[in-house]
Chains A and B, each alone.
Chain A
């Protein structure tokens, strides 16, 4: 089984976000970058499907700055076979342009399965997976929480509001992965050593300008300090009064 996984280098979720002087990008000084956590599920699932099929190849593809090579190495250390970096200068806001660049790389390679995280934790766009599917004219299943592939037929489960949706589809297909799909493996020592020698192709890429531009970024307003109304049952009446009169939520 030949599987492509599209991954993204994102700031660690523990990052204390600072906005750069231009007012519309992240100040990257001292920020630790990681493999997007939702993409980790995609990489893990690709490895499991390849292991189950007994043969195949897992290719990881990233669009991003030169430093995204480290992110690809992380996926290679987990067990992916080779990597492709579509190397850009800086980050790109426009999901469609990102999808176009990825689709161009994917289209002539005859992958059985194309996996992406359901979203990147930095921009929360949820766009690129479905757009890649559309550009390649392939079926698309988003937010996959369980996946079975047998004899060319695939079944996915999606956790939707209040229940589970079961979807059947044929391969090739594009899937976006959700938390709960699997427990991503830690890179093994041997995997880290081997990753250094796995092929990583760097292709300079210039995505189009796109139709979206980030105008400004602002931090959420600072949270006001809480108020302790009192203790024990005596405080209940006062709490109810405040919720009704001050917070106006009752």
Chain B
């Protein structure tokens, strides 16, 4: 089965609207509009405010965020390289950044079903000088800094459509609020808002819908299609302290799939752990949530989790295509694309946050120069691309350009190739490894191949329990935000049910049932199946320390 055959096209008619299209309520004008209050968007806002402050000018900056409160849709491992923080806040000491603690010990292990073999840490995975952190906490801290600098943060306002005029991006329209399942208006209905700006910065995070729409509309391509992985993460209060960051390879991920796990101490007895699997896996019954549950029974994890308590659960995709999947340009008339939405992630070192922030800062400098020169055209904003291309963002991604891609042939072949790439500093094999979009990878459903697990609710939990632990309290009566293909056979429905970590898709008597309110906005569905579209503000998870 090829998932792309059952995937509806990107709903461009909804994602792109001519400016002035009917249906909007309030209208607001800003100098710069940033879509997404993550590390990229907030670093962009802060750097812009710094530049305006330096020159004693006024730049009216607004940041839209779909989560109800800052950080509630942000999820990462995370081990953070502090360099972008240091550049953005030269007067702040490392100890005052919102990190949980420096990486002191690290271990990489290869797992079999019962054992763990410590491996030499690959050079790309050394984390000396980096910090363990919660992205939620980073985002809240950045948000406070931005607010103090006069940036307008609008949480609970997802951007639904790009407003365009000719080739130019003019702003965005937000989603409506207070609609019932059939689209009828409830008593607290609020019409969409139109926000117009001289420059719109798309910092939507992984698999951004407006970013996709703009790239598609403007025909901006990349050498390889972007590919994604899905990570499922949990936070545990444990009885036994953890004093090292741990990464594992191998079991329970099948050898024809790419992925690994992580376990980091936020505090000695507060542990973040998760499992990440590339969405180019072959077995249609592969289920990342379930693999994570199984993984927790392995002695390496069990030792720490025994007697502990799961306090939070979440899921998110990661753009893994690297250098060759970065769009040829990330700027156009009135628009720039930042962070994960542009694919600035280095898989071999498992880093994206400092690239996201740095891209935001570069964008801010280009936007500010453009505003001062009165030129927010593609030519004016191309400075952003030049800054990124000449920076460590692209040189880091170039060095490891083929490593993730080598694993499309499976774990062992990939491992050998990645080793050679490391030894040769990226010169082996010298040319680009071509990949297909994840949705074009053939899947096979082998009945009975995945036995499944029965969650015991102490160490292992069901998807529904996970959704509860994500803080998702989306009301049941909101309109469906997932666009499903018209003829979904039972086998494909089953593939969706396994793929989605939040139990949005179920197979009931051979037919697909969609529990849309469960959705935690991980976007895996948008990569492999039904399209994700923005829904009412404040829907989805409420992550606290993810």
State the A residues within 8 Å of B (CB): 14, 16, 30, 32, 183-186, 188-190, 192-193, 196
Contact = CB atoms under 8 A, between A and B. Distances in A.
Contacts of A30: 544-545
Nearest to B544: A30
A122 to B, nearest CB: 18
B187 A186 contact: no
26 contacts: A14-B471, A14-B542, A16-B311, A32-B542, A32-B544, A183-B186, A183-B187, A184-B188, A185-B188, A186-B156, A186-B190, A188-B26, A188-B190, A189-B26, A189-B28, A189-B154, A189-B174, A189-B193, A190-B26, A190-B28, A190-B193, A192-B152, A192-B154, A193-B28, A193-B152, A196-B152
Given A14-B542, A16-B311, A32-B69, 12 more contacts: A14-B471, A14-B473, A30-B544, A32-B544, A183-B186, A183-B187, A184-B188, A185-B188, A186-B190, A186-B537, A188-B193, A189-B174
Contacts of B177: 186
Given A14-B473, A192-B154, A193-B152, A183 B28 contact: no
Contacts of B152: 192-193, 196
B384 interface: no
B195 interface: yes
B178 A186 contact: yes
B188 A183 contact: yes
Interface in B185-229: 186-188, 190, 193, 195
A65 to B, nearest CB: 16
Interface centre among A30, A32, A183, A185 (most CB of B within 10 A): A32
B157 interface: yes
Nearest to B187: A183
Contacts of A184: 188
B376 to A, nearest CB: 22
Interface string B522-546: 0000000000000001000010110
Contact of B157 (A14, A185, A189): A189
Nearest to A70: B147
Interface string B339-368: 000000000000000000000000000000
A16 B542 CA distance: 13
Contacts of A196: 152
Contacts of B187: 183
Interface residues of B, number: 24
B195 A186 contact: no
Contacts of A186: 156, 177-178, 188, 190, 537
Nearest to B64: A189
A182 to B, nearest CB: 8
Contacts of B69: 32
Nearest to B150: A196
CB-based closest 9 A-B pairs:
A189-B193, A183-B188, A190-B26, A183-B187, A186-B177, A189-B26, A185-B188, A186-B190, A14-B471
Interface in B149-199: 152, 154, 156-157, 174, 177-178, 186-188, 190, 193, 195
A171 to B, nearest CB: 26
Contacts, number: 40
A184 B538 CA distance: 15
Nearest to B60: A193
Contacts of A193: 28, 152
A16 B310 CA distance: 12
Nearest to A184: B188
Contact of A189 (B188, B195, B471): B195
Contacts of B157: 189
A16 B26 CA distance: 37
Contacts of A32: 69, 542, 544
A192 B28 CA distance: 12
A188 B193 CA distance: 9
Interface centre among A32, A189, A192 (most CB of B within 10 A): A189
Interface string B463-482: 00000000101000000000
A151 B544 CA distance: 49
Contacts of B471: 14
Nearest to B30: A193
Nearest to B137: A30
Nearest to A15: B544
Contacts of A14: 471, 473, 542
Nearest to A14: B471
A193 B60 CA distance: 11
Contacts of A183: 186-188
A188 B24 CA distance: 13
Interface string B380-399: 00000000000000000000
A144 to B, nearest CB: 18
A87 B519 CA distance: 40
B477 to A, nearest CB: 13
Interface string B448-471: 000000000000000000000001
A183 B187 CA distance: 7
Interface string B29-73: 000000000000000000000000000000000000000010000
A190 B473 CA distance: 26
Contacts of B193: 188-190
B140 to A, nearest CB: 10
A191 to B, nearest CB: 9
Contacts of A16: 311
Contacts of B156: 186
A183 B185 CA distance: 13
Interface centre among A183, A184, A192 (most CB of B within 10 A): A192
A114 to B, nearest CB: 25
A113 B471 CA distance: 37
A74 to B, nearest CB: 11
A193 B152 CA distance: 7
A243 B378 CA distance: 74
Nearest to A192: B154
Nearest to B174: A189
A183 B186 CA distance: 10
Contacts of B174: 189
A183 B475 CA distance: 14
A16 B177 CA distance: 28
A45 to B, nearest CB: 14
B189 to A, nearest CB: 10
A152 to B, nearest CB: 27
A233 B473 CA distance: 35
Contacts of B195: 189
Interface centre among A183, A186, A192 (most CB of B within 10 A): A186
A30 B137 CA distance: 9
A192 B154 CA distance: 8
A30 B156 CA distance: 20
Nearest to A182: B187
A199 to B, nearest CB: 18
B37 to A, nearest CB: 14
